[in-house]
Structure 1
């Protein structure tokens, strides 16, 4: 889940990670998320292929059941180029291969101070941007997290089996609470990884797209699923009248096929972020042409001659070339050939034009969607209905396995 959903996995007490290696590369579906090249921060990992489920050559065979993928983005702050290139753009290819559920995680948005009058509008804006970026409602379900009440219910049930020690070790909580102070930090900031686990486990997800800042949370989700399966599943569940076996499917990470880390325009070593104080650090998806041009004109560069990928001494150069490659649709080799002898003065107008051309169709489609609120409300209602059918089935199994009186 994008927390706007950690550099190392957390080793939980009495439970070792079970992410297994596979023949697939890091940039496709990988069972292992421990094998990242430490130099990846300076490399444009932009050319990879998402593994496709193989179809049967026998026409008489039953149709292949698609694996399920879930993901979401918080409706806090304007969605920016990093959100788009690192997550949403990848979803448009996932929806052709998998059964996909994409939602706006508004319950996560309240774990830190927020503007109550802006939450509803930001939620609808985010949903509209999903659709404007190419999410096809004939292939994917789009909905709002709080519209499916099973998220909050399952989160409470999972909380009862989550050791507090696991949550105290979560890196993001420690970082944010240290900055804000204990008196200004709500319990939700500590427990939101449990809600994230509920978001995933409710839908018996096969894969979850993850970035660097989410690996620890996915591992917590896997550990919680195994813990609940061991405590309440199997024969114990069967004695309660259930089918027995595992209650939850153990989700695997789905590594984004393109460069998941778009860096700040003002610091090539920091990830582009909605929470960064300066709006100059990011390209927002709805920025007007003149704003985009001004941000690129003023972005941080260096004094080296020529432009090049993968030089650790030139993080800003690598970041801007990666962005240009992604929005222009060119290969890394083509960009290298085109830009290696360029000055920054020659390159900046080129990347500006490429950004404007790439974002304009998204902005036009966004305005069309927002001009018809009934359409967007209908999309979200339909998506929530489909999600509720899946989520309620899982939630009923959990209630049964944990011994609750049947409703």
Structure 2
């Protein structure tokens, strides 16, 4: 059931570990405006973890009023760069959560971040194809345009316009300290571009343009979300309370590591072809990659990421694709050596991706449909963004 009123995240049956909040507060409506009766901000941390078991916390501080309706809703925003068909880590770390969230929240926006992709050199023809392939993949994985707004970022120009406004209140030293800048600029011969330096500001604009309240993020994006939170607070201090401060939804799925080097995360840019499992890989390719996966000289299947990262990565993958807990996976694997266990994990991945792979192929054959989905989603996103952005223009003095 999709929830139109969410005062909290989900909890187990045991009592909540948090005391009741005596003064829950509501944020403004989508058109802005100050709320003279606001209570002080709750100082307790507000990071939600998404899993089969949930911790609940009563917290209305992030909610947004729907004009003319006596209820509150949360708004989800997230995006994915168009790198073509996603790999196993993309699916388990992000897309699988997207599918769950579209069922739980009534206001959900997912964007193909084509503007962000320009921070790393791309051939125009390849970018166009990657946009369509990424769209086909996330649709095949279960994203439903009837339950969310799925759109291409560049089709909503307010993203870039708001990024300029927010960039004018963001300090350069803060951007220079972000680890993504330090890491990615090293791969660019020119020492890094302005776009690469400022793309976290564009990320903030992506989120704040829709007054989003929650953002599903990976561990490597937490610092960027913190920047968006700080920018929202800075804007509110300068121009009056307007933006809700977005909160993180962190997936509890373990970070999926490279099959060839389990000390680093799985990546599409990995030069070792056997390191990354793509969701369109054939069964033979999947078997080969898992057979060649790096483990160690101990044959027993155990979970110890610090001392046995290779085997532990396989256990994490098996748990995520099967829906079993780590403990259940280990119980089922008693008596198996790692060579046989690799084939068990490979078979689980093959079964998980078989229907998705077939659906991707069907969708890729209908480019007109993919383009129509993205354009229709962009029109809906524009309808939501326009009144918010017009109010931003008024606040900063443009009108």
- Aligned-pair CA distance for 1:97: 1.2
Task: Please say if 1:48 is aligned against 2:61.
Answer: no
Distance change >3 Å, CA 372–CA 155, structure 1 → 2: same
Tell me if structure 1 keeps the 8 A contact 2:186–2:192. no
Determine helix, strand or coil for the equivalent of 1:279: coil
CA distance in structure 2 between the partners assigned to 1:308 and 1:103 by the alignment: 38
Q: Which has the higher contact order (CA 8 A, sep 6+)?
A: 1
- Aligned-pair CA distance for 1:51: 5.6
TM-score (norm 2): 0.82
CA distance in structure 2 between the partners assigned to 1:25 and 1:340 by the alignment: 36
Tell me if structure 2 keeps the 8 A contact 1:48–1:258. no
Structure 2 counterpart of 1:390, from 379, 384, 387 = 384
- How many residues are paired up? 349
- Aligned-pair CA distance for 1:174: 1.5
Tell me if structure 2 keeps the 8 A contact 1:66–1:97. no
Counterpart of 2:221?
A: 214
Tell me if structure 2 keeps the 8 A contact 1:47–1:258. no
Q: Where do residues 371-390 of structure 1 align in structure 2 (5 Å cutoff)?
A: 371-390=365-384
Counterpart of 2:158?
A: 150
Query: Which ranges in structure 2 are unaligned for 5 or more consecutive residues?
Result: 1-40, 60-68
Counterpart of 1:33?
A: none
Tell me if structure 2 keeps the 8 A contact 1:201–1:225. yes
Tell me if structure 2 keeps the 8 A contact 1:292–1:356. yes
Counterpart of 2:249?
A: 254
- Aligned-pair CA distance for 1:287: 1.0
Task: Please say if 1:204 is aligned against 2:199.
Answer: no
Determine helix, strand or coil for the equivalent of 1:353: helix
- Aligned-pair CA distance for 1:20: 4.5
Distance change >3 Å, CA 228–CA 125, structure 1 → 2: same
CA distance in structure 1 between the partners assigned to 2:389 and 2:333 by the alignment: 54
- Aligned-pair CA distance for 1:338: 1.5
Determine helix, strand or coil for the equivalent of 2:219: coil
- Aligned-pair CA distance for 1:52: 9.9
Counterpart of 1:355?
A: 349
Structure 1 counterpart of 2:94, from 60, 84, 87 = 87
Counterpart of 1:301?
A: 295
Counterpart of 1:12?
A: none
CA distance in structure 1 between the partners assigned to 2:98 and 2:274 by the alignment: 27
Determine helix, strand or coil for the equivalent of 1:221: helix
Counterpart of 2:120?
A: 112
CA distance in structure 2 between the partners assigned to 1:311 and 1:174 by the alignment: 27
Determine helix, strand or coil for the equivalent of 1:346: helix
Task: Please say if 1:313 is aligned against 2:310.
Answer: no
Tell me if structure 1 keeps the 8 A contact 2:217–2:251. yes
CA distance in structure 2 between the partners assigned to 1:47 and 1:306 by the alignment: 27
TM-score (norm 1): 0.81
Tell me if structure 1 keeps the 8 A contact 2:109–2:150. yes
CA distance in structure 2 between the partners assigned to 1:64 and 1:128 by the alignment: 35
Counterpart of 2:29?
A: none
Q: Deviations over 1:159-183 (max 9, x none)?
A: 11111111111111112223435x2
Distance change >3 Å, CA 334–CA 387, structure 1 → 2: same
Query: Which ranges in structure 1 are unaligned for 5 or more consecutive residues?
Result: 1-17, 29-45, 55-61, 234-245
Tell me if structure 1 keeps the 8 A contact 2:216–2:251. yes
Q: Deviations over 1:259-311 (max 9, x none)?
A: 3x111111111111122222311111111111111111111111113101135
Q: Where do residues 336-355 of structure 1 align in structure 2 (5 Å cutoff)?
A: 336-355=330-349
Q: Deviations over 1:315-357 (max 9, x none)?
A: 1111101101111222323211111321122112211111111
Structure 1 counterpart of 2:109, from 70, 84, 101 = 101
Structure 1 counterpart of 2:178, from 155, 170, 173 = 170
Tell me if structure 2 keeps the 8 A contact 1:27–1:48. no
Counterpart of 1:5?
A: none
Tell me if structure 1 keeps the 8 A contact 2:322–2:348. yes
What RMSD over aligned residues (CA atoms) do the two structures have, in Å? Answer: 2.2
Counterpart of 1:27?
A: 49
Q: Deviations over 1:175-196 (max 9, x none)?
A: 2223435x25211000000100
Tell me which moved more, 304-313 or 281-290.
Answer: 304-313
Tell me if structure 2 keeps the 8 A contact 1:283–1:292. yes
Q: Where do residues 115-130 of structure 1 align in structure 2 (5 Å cutoff)?
A: 115-130=123-138
CA distance in structure 2 between the partners assigned to 1:358 and 1:257 by the alignment: 19
